[in-house]
Amino acid sequence: MVKHKKLAQWIDEMAAMVTPDSTHICDGSQKEYDDMIRITVKEGLATELNKQKLPNCYLFRSDPSDVARVENRTYIASKTKEQAGPTNNWIDPDELKKTMKGLYKGCMKGRTMYVIPFSMGPVGSPISKIGVEITDSPYVVANMHIMTRVGTKVLEVLGETGEFIPCMHSVGKPLEKGETDGGKWPCAPLDKKYISHFPEERTIWSYGSGYGGNALLGKKCLALRIATVMARDEGWLAEHMLILGITNPKGEKKYIAGAFPSACGKTNLAMLIPTVPGWKVETVGDDIAWMKFGKDGRLYAINPEAGFFGVAPGTSMQSNPNAMKAMNRNTIFTNVALTGDKDVWWEGIGYDAPGKVIDWNGNEWEQGKSDKPAAHPNARFTAPAKQCPAVDPAWEDPAGVPISAFLFGGRRPSTVPLVHQSFSWNHGVFLGSIVGSEVTAAALDVKAGTVRRDPFAMLPFCGYHMGDYFKHWINIGSKTSSDKLPKIFYVNWFRKTADGKWLWPGYGENSRVLKWVFERCNGEGKAVETEIGFMPTVDAIDRTGLSDVSEQDMKELLTVDRKGWLAEIDLIKQHYANFGDHLPSELKAELEALEKRLK
Ligand code: OXD
Ligand code: MN
């Protein structure tokens, strides 16, 4: 029984539209999770994996058309197009609702409508927000169990009048009488998929996709797109950032948050095992940070999620042992390859495929015999955060953790040095606003290999005009004294030589850069003032025990490529031109100052 009148009304209204065969209010129990898995196994949508190697783990294969976020079918339906800004797709909200109501009509026929009360952030924390997702996908229910806090305990906090964000979802595949999915992942064709946000109403409507960020509505839709709007209105930050704790050999600890575009190694950085002796990194979150000012004037962050929805390919015992250990039980795998003994395999797992495997399309696959990968490049694991061996003791602290530094970065083969620090808060906001990255596979509809500007790594996730979002960041800087604000750094692990070789080994070695960041936050760490910001001197990055980066490489990683930056200025001008008079004057001034320094 739902005691919350508005919620009960909304459930009735949605049920009348989608006409499911039955309704189930999720209680969040283990039995419920097990039931979801049982249903999907029975339907032929999930395969149980090797019980000895991967207890309570299951493999799902999605439809080949439904493998990633669909940015060109994602809409910010604010009242006006201008409010959504130049980086978002916009449709008039009334028109969009009309179209979607047409699609939703009867779309849950033959299915169960699940109602999932969920909390983003620890249940009852003042920073947390409650959402309720309606879905017809047991796969979504199971994933939401891992990624969020779900069930009766959330309804209890909501009480009879609490605020919740309604999140409507359907895979868009009604069933005729007697019809079943018959092992086929249900979804709608691409031109019928809609991932829609109504920022004024703080409502989400998603139709036609069962995959990841399109369907697990607590993640990108609520915790970023809708949350950015709430954060703007309420004076806080909702960001596409990892959060890590770093402790020096003396036992002093700081927390760092970092924004990197999708598939730039946020999960690896969040779970990094430092190679610098005596240092320790612990994980608070790998994808999203919500930050509010504490009474002491510092920014405190929580990870609103409870699990990791990480990219599997490239994850190995070498690149990220903590992730590998987090996903060795109670995990859902999607679109990875299946071995003969029901283990999982993917490209970059660190060893060859053991004989013939079944690829993500369900076909036999042998290493070296196919030019297609066995696992989809955006194949995922959904694993509970608490299973990560490096999870931070404060990861569920309702008060959050105090942030000392922000990192921005992306995949930039040239121009951008290994690390530089902003001169000021506004200069740091400028650095965030110019983030760019080579594109990979996290979104379906952008061309891999090209560099796209992805300000604050929020291009697909900001729920309002990006120029106003920049201004919000500028405003945050004036809410407290500058010594209390996090210091801002731009990092680039992805520099290459002219002949295409990596200059920096990355992974655990990134701890050497984090060490310098830590020192800078303490007013230490050697640095020189350059045209683009403070840069470490070549000897300021600790290279003890690091043999494969020469003094010459280090110099290349830490010089200002003046020619490259002057070319970058022109690109930034083009990028900024998109924001018209919404571009804050402070950022225009930062750009002009940079140009002057370089010339
Ligand atoms: C993600 C993404 O899935 O950023 O986290 O695409
Ligand atoms: Mn992400």
Spatial distance between the Cα atoms of 131 and 217, rounded to a whole number of angstroms: 9
**Cα(364) to centroid(ligand 2), Å:** 31
| More reliable by pLDDT, 449 or 579 | 579
For ligand 1, say whether the CB of 213 is within 6 Å of any of its atoms. Answer: yes
CB 494 within 8 A of CB 500: no
- Please say if the pLDDT value at position 449 is more than 90: no
The stretch 501-529 carries a mean pLDDT of 96
**Cα(400) to centroid(ligand 1), Å:** 22
The stretch 111-135 carries a mean pLDDT of 95
Residue 542, pLDDT score: 96
**Cα(263) to centroid(ligand 2), Å:** 7
CA torsion angle 444 449 451 456 (round to 10): 50
**Ligand with the closest atom to the CA of 74:** 1
Helix, strand, or coil here: 211? coil
For ligand 1, say whether the CB of 262 is within 6 Å of any of its atoms. Answer: yes
CB 463 within 8 A of CB 419: no
For ligand 1, say whether the CB of 69 is within 6 Å of any of its atoms. Answer: yes
Spatial distance between the Cα atoms of 266 and 461, rounded to a whole number of angstroms: 16
Spatial distance between the Cα atoms of 388 and 383, rounded to a whole number of angstroms: 9
- Please say if the pLDDT value at position 447 is more than 70: no
Q: How many CB atoms lie within 10 A of CB 557?
A: 21
At which residue do the structure tokens 């190995």 appear?
Answer: 316
Burial bucket for residue 519 (CB in 10 Å: 0-12, 13-18, 19+):
middle
Percent of the chain with pLDDT over 90: 93
CA 395 to chain centre: 17
Q: Which two tokens mark 598?
A: 């370089």
- Please say if the pLDDT value at position 446 is more than 60: no
Spatial distance between the Cα atoms of 125 and 180, rounded to a whole number of angstroms: 41
The stretch 353-357 carries a mean pLDDT of 96
Residue 287 CA: nearest ligand 1 atom is 5
Residue type, 489: F
- The residues, ordered by sequence, that sit 6+ positions from 1 with a Cβ below 8 Å of its Cβ are none
**What does the DSSP 8-state code read for residue 186?**
P
Residue 444, pLDDT score: 53
**Cα(378) to centroid(ligand 2), Å:** 12
Spatial distance between the Cα atoms of 357 and 376, rounded to a whole number of angstroms: 14
Residue located nearest, by CA, to atom 4 of ligand 1: 262
Pocket test for ligand 1, best of 74, 222, 268, 287 (most atoms within 8 A of CB): 287
**What does the DSSP 8-state code read for residue 221?**
I
Residue 499, pLDDT score: 85
For ligand 1, say whether the CB of 440 is within 6 Å of any of its atoms. Answer: no
- The residues, ordered by sequence, that sit 6+ positions from 352 with a Cβ below 8 Å of its Cβ are 367
Residue 69 CA: nearest ligand 1 atom is 6
Q: Which two tokens mark 369?
A: 């015999």
For ligand 1, say whether the CB of 553 is within 6 Å of any of its atoms. Answer: no
Residue 575, pLDDT score: 96
For ligand 1, say whether the CB of 460 is within 6 Å of any of its atoms. Answer: no
- Please say if the pLDDT value at position 530 is more than 80: yes
* pLDDT classification of 471: cutoffs 50, 70, 90: very high
pLDDT tens-digit profile of 227-251? 999 999 999 999 999 999 999 999 9
Distance linking the first and last C-alpha atoms of the chain: 68
Cα dihedral sign for 382, 386, 390, 391?
Answer: positive
- Please say if the pLDDT value at position 442 is more than 70: no
What angle separates helix 466-476 from helix 227-234, to the nearest 10 degrees? Answer: 40
Nearest to 59 by CA among 282, 468, 358: 358
Length of the chain: 599
Pocket test for ligand 1, best of 262, 411, 459 (most atoms within 8 A of CB): 262
Q: Which two tokens mark 412?
A: 């930039």
Spatial distance between the Cα atoms of 379 and 434, rounded to a whole number of angstroms: 29
**Cα(128) to centroid(ligand 2), Å:** 19
CA 562 to chain centre: 33
**Cα(195) to centroid(ligand 1), Å:** 15
Residue type, 507: Y
Residue 523 region by backbone torsions, left for phi larger than 0, else alpha for psi between -120 and 50, else beta: left
Residue 143, pLDDT score: 98
CB 241 within 8 A of CB 461: no
**Cα(455) to centroid(ligand 2), Å:** 14
The stretch 83-97 carries a mean pLDDT of 98
**Ligand with the closest atom to the CA of 378:** 1
Residue 261 CA: nearest ligand 1 atom is 4
Residue 245, pLDDT score: 98
For ligand 1, say whether the CB of 265 is within 6 Å of any of its atoms. Answer: no
CB 199 within 8 A of CB 226: yes
* pLDDT classification of 124: cutoffs 50, 70, 90: confident
Residue located nearest, by CA, to atom 2 of ligand 1: 262
Spatial distance between the Cα atoms of 129 and 121, rounded to a whole number of angstroms: 7
- Please say if the pLDDT value at position 440 is more than 70: no
3-state helix, strand, coil in the chain (%, to 5): 30, 25, 45
At which residue do the structure tokens 């076909």 appear?
Answer: 363
Helix, strand, or coil here: 371? coil
Helix, strand, or coil here: 220? helix
Residue 1, pLDDT score: 75
Pocket test for ligand 1, best of 69, 241, 446, 462 (most atoms within 8 A of CB): 69
Residue 443, pLDDT score: 55
Residue 212 CA: nearest ligand 1 atom is 3
**Ligand with the closest atom to the CA of 439:** 1
Which of the residues are catalytic?
A: 264
* pLDDT classification of 433: cutoffs 50, 70, 90: very high
For ligand 1, say whether the CB of 71 is within 6 Å of any of its atoms. Answer: no
Residue 437, pLDDT score: 86
Residue 438, pLDDT score: 76
- Please say if the pLDDT value at position 445 is more than 70: no
pLDDT tens-digit profile of 539-563? 999 999 998 899 999 999 999 999 9
CB 375 within 8 A of CB 363: no
Residue type, 428: G
* pLDDT classification of 498: cutoffs 50, 70, 90: confident
**Cα(240) to centroid(ligand 2), Å:** 6
Q: Which two tokens mark 416?
A: 């951008």
Pocket test for ligand 1, best of 220, 221, 260, 288 (most atoms within 8 A of CB): 220
The stretch 381-398 carries a mean pLDDT of 98
pLDDT tens-digit profile of 358-369? 999 999 999 999
CB 292 within 8 A of CB 326: no
Cα dihedral sign for 229, 230, 236, 242?
Answer: negative
Residue 337, pLDDT score: 98
At which residue do the structure tokens 């403070």 appear?
Answer: 534
